[in-house]
Structure 1
């Protein structure tokens, strides 16, 4: 107990902010300020759009980006991570809002924040490392398709669908939306999307610093104000942040919301850690602490819930912009949140007059840019297993559930990897070969075992060896075995026992030192007829086998 307490205390201290987080601030503050302003401008339309797309309000997306952005920047485990509402979280929130109403989101956000916080305290941050690349890319593709489809209701009618009016399944909801579309409104909305997309594509070609999404939204807002447009607007946005208050729910409600909160928490953890891991490789910005990142993201969602916001995660797109703009410390992400706060305090009126179709255009192009065709081609052309894992993960993400897609993708990748690994197990059955053949050598068979011998390949090895014809002596050559698990050792024991029962003497040659203890514990060595039937080299094993053949011939 004396050693456990200090260790726990040391771990707890690593999860807290410290002066080291800002040790290079004197050198980097100018770049951090510029990066923070840049990413704040980029984040504005995304925060508004993700709030609306979730079935909530633009205000809720904005306050989430502000409150969660500051808390995650200060408490998180990455120096350059930018957090806030994301498209992946929208995909999860849409069915929650449809089934339980917008009022349930704050409670789900609070519960999810607690779960993510506990995951960080319990040191579960490294778990994301087991997610294979094909699963991550399939997950990303599925999210991108779903985000794109979720924007269609904003383009087809000025009236937003209420809870229960649209299916929670993105593809079915798309059909329902298009079937009930208002043609006149759809034309106006598609025009707004075209303007936004054109600005986002062309503006960076004029100058890299021009925020194309913000420019496109401004152009559409001005046109909507000047022309007799039917386009629905964001509406009134308060010019102050909401006062903090706990979401109202009891134990019964918490129990009902817990499955949804667990899904949100899992997604928040996965997306934040993936984003932080990618960010650590994009520039010389220092490593990240995955456990501390979970603590920071958990507290960020807790803070967002207190102001009626939505769950927050690390956002790879905004984080990438942050790094490319010169961010080197947490100050950049803090400034990004302050820029958004300034928008609330100063420009809430103009923001409220932005057409929803313009936000849909931003998110549609964002979704398209999430998919990298070169990556898709690489995965599909790599191995059959990786291509299958990628496609199945994407389909499950679109059709069913994000967390189920990740879990199924990981399991499928593991099964296919084990299947491929099992094929590297080689079993060669052949007569002995020496410089001088002696009479009776044809009654000695050597079985070469190479590669891994584990639960997937064990039965195949057993069937092949036991299926050979009758002989007098079998030499099991095991120096080529790279890996043996308990199942593999058990099969070896069964092989020795089965062959001996058929009157075949079994000799074992070349047991590796790292396998000796397991083979002894499982009973492989004790299954031999005599302890002298274990050899380190082949020549003594062949000589001993010949002596058995001679005795068998003499007895016959």
Structure 2
């Protein structure tokens, strides 16, 4: 069931509508320049980005499984769309997007969305960082105003073409790019609630118009944008074309599914809600079926715009629907003004987006603190994404992670000699299905959870889901790690999220019976005092008795 239905069933007041209107308008202001810039960087015309944001944004909010998801064209698709356009033109892209939509709908109805959580953290960071690098390189020509013509789709030939075109640098375009980046960064630091992207676009356009700067604009390159979307039409269809674009359709479906659910998880973390992954994938599929019918591009959930929607006071999916309505209104009223927008300012916006996607600080932390296996997965995924192909990068990263996991499992098996002896009367083997006995509780304000088995990327999400069932958070949460042989980076990241969330709600977290390797892993991945509100105890009994330590190192 779409979250829109759930939201309306709760009762929808005028105050909620006002809050959603403000949030929708704010997101539309952010999405307007991004949609045009992403379309241009993808090798398409700027109006296709706006059509996508309007049509797909409406569908994803109306039928999606996340209350706050904002859909539309995203920077992650730039590399994929550019390559498809280069080989098959827009007709091939439209057909691939349509097929990807049907794949996503099928995945959602088959309830396979929950399996996307098995993509490990280093793989996710690796391919997003690789995409960020590729996007930044693709914007160098417009940032410097180079006369490079149509750039190749592959990374190394693109870099070679840019180097050859360096003597054609346009000083005015370079200054305009630097001016735009400065505006965005200054506003982000001192006025974070102001729409920095739109202000930079308006300021740069005004400077170009007033001083007649010789730089490329949307009007000079594309002839402006139309006021209204085109009438819906099916893309060209043939069996040969389907066979040719099917691999690209799978790539679009995989990327759309991963990014949309990542965005939904981010929204959950910011709001405390829980999305419906399979419902979200069905909505993403519908959006990608309808978008090419109106001349649009592939669409998915946009993490930055979703976060902006939440920070702007959204109360539910209505704000996402209104964001699409506002974009349509902007297009109907102000389409002629888009002709004055210089490509340099859109390139500056995408350069900042690429930097944010690269998450350099996260990559450096993983390279510095992770095991050799996680480093290998990260670098392999990132390298293949940049130099070869995004889909291959994800596939290789997942396979390497699976091999690494099996290696860890082999190391975790230990054979120990035990001393035989009589069992205590009434003792029995632990059973996961054993019901909780409230008579065993020593303190109503204390909850104890035992984790059995390796706390790895496949089990990380289960902890947060299980703890959500507690309802009112206790004053003290004891996590028994006696049965945990290892923790990987994804498990540590999930545990840190639980600890941070508990601290905000006044709950003290105690990690009991952690082994030395587990403690070393947790410290290496950032769970240590004084940065994280966590204490430790040698055993659950010590934790219940108040014998805790303030550091994991002891």
TM-score by structure 2 length? Answer: 0.71
Deviation of the 1:21 alpha carbon: 4.7
Q: Give the match for residue 288 of structure 1.
A: 275
Deviation of the 1:160 alpha carbon: 7.1
Q: Provide the rounded CA distance (Å) in 1 between the counterparts of 2:286 and 2:420.
A: 69
Map Cα deviations across residues 258-300 of structure 1 (whole Å, 9 max, x no partner).
111111111111111111122111114x311111111101111
Deviation of the 1:229 alpha carbon: 2.1
Deviation of the 1:388 alpha carbon: 2.1
Distance 1:161 1:121, change over 3 A: farther
8 Å CA contact 1:61, 1:309 repeated in 2: yes
Indicate yes or no: 2:340 matched with 1:340. no
Q: Give the match for residue 178 of structure 1.
A: 163
Q: Provide the rounded CA distance (Å) in 2 between the counterparts of 1:401 and 1:376.
A: 20
1:233 to 212, 217, 222: 217
8 Å CA contact 1:147, 1:367 repeated in 2: yes
8 Å CA contact 1:193, 1:357 repeated in 2: yes
Q: Provide the rounded CA distance (Å) in 2 between the counterparts of 1:270 and 1:225.
A: 41
Deviation of the 1:429 alpha carbon: 9.3
Q: Give the match for residue 309 of structure 2.
A: 322
5 Å matches for 1:122-521? 122-157=110-145, 161-162=149-150, 166-181=151-166, 183-185=168-170, 187-235=171-219, 236-284=224-272, 286-380=273-367, 381-427=369-415
Deviation of the 1:183 alpha carbon: 2.8
How many positions carry a matched residue from both structures? 421
RMSD between aligned residues? 2.6
Q: Give the match for residue 33 of structure 1.
A: 21
SS in 2 for 1:245: coil
8 Å CA contact 1:156, 1:178 repeated in 2: no
Indicate yes or no: 2:94 matched with 1:82. no
8 Å CA contact 2:4, 2:316 repeated in 1: no
8 Å CA contact 2:133, 2:358 repeated in 1: no
Q: Provide the rounded CA distance (Å) in 1 between the counterparts of 2:385 and 2:53.
A: 25
Q: Provide the rounded CA distance (Å) in 2 between the counterparts of 1:24 and 1:401.
A: 47
5 Å matches for 1:40-79? 40-79=28-67
Q: Provide the rounded CA distance (Å) in 2 between the counterparts of 1:195 and 1:335.
A: 32
Deviation of the 1:19 alpha carbon: 5.4
Q: Provide the rounded CA distance (Å) in 2 between the counterparts of 1:161 and 1:343.
A: 31
Deviation of the 1:308 alpha carbon: 0.7
Map Cα deviations across residues 472-510 of structure 1 (whole Å, 9 max, x no partner).
xxxxxxxxx999xxxxxxxxxxxxxxxxxxxxxxxxxxx
Distance 1:208 1:199, change over 3 A: same
Q: Provide the rounded CA distance (Å) in 1 between the counterparts of 2:248 and 2:102.
A: 13
Indicate yes or no: 2:101 matched with 1:113. yes
Q: Provide the rounded CA distance (Å) in 2 between the counterparts of 1:417 and 1:46.
A: 39
Deviation of the 1:369 alpha carbon: 1.9
8 Å CA contact 2:146, 2:165 repeated in 1: no
Distance 1:417 1:290, change over 3 A: same
Which structure 2 residue ranges, 5 or more long, are not aligned? 422-451, 454-482, 486-554
Map Cα deviations across residues 322-347 of structure 1 (whole Å, 9 max, x no partner).
11111120011111111211110011
8 Å CA contact 2:73, 2:297 repeated in 1: yes
Q: Give the match for residue 444 of structure 1.
A: none
Moved more, 243-252 or 35-44: 243-252
Deviation of the 1:17 alpha carbon: 5.9
SS in 2 for 1:426: coil
Q: Provide the rounded CA distance (Å) in 1 between the counterparts of 2:392 and 2:57.
A: 28
Distance 1:103 1:231, change over 3 A: farther
8 Å CA contact 1:157, 1:182 repeated in 2: no
8 Å CA contact 1:158, 1:230 repeated in 2: no
Map Cα deviations across residues 296-329 of structure 1 (whole Å, 9 max, x no partner).
0111111111111001000111111111111120
Q: Provide the rounded CA distance (Å) in 1 between the counterparts of 2:156 and 2:144.
A: 15
5 Å matches for 1:85-100? 85-100=73-88
8 Å CA contact 1:170, 1:399 repeated in 2: yes
Q: Provide the rounded CA distance (Å) in 1 between the counterparts of 2:136 and 2:9.
A: 39
8 Å CA contact 2:366, 2:375 repeated in 1: yes
Runs in 1 of length 4+ with deviation above 6 angstroms? Answer: none
8 Å CA contact 1:42, 1:318 repeated in 2: yes
Q: Provide the rounded CA distance (Å) in 2 between the counterparts of 1:245 and 1:433.
A: 77
Q: Give the match for residue 472 of structure 2.
A: none
8 Å CA contact 1:15, 1:295 repeated in 2: no
Bigger Cα Rg = 1
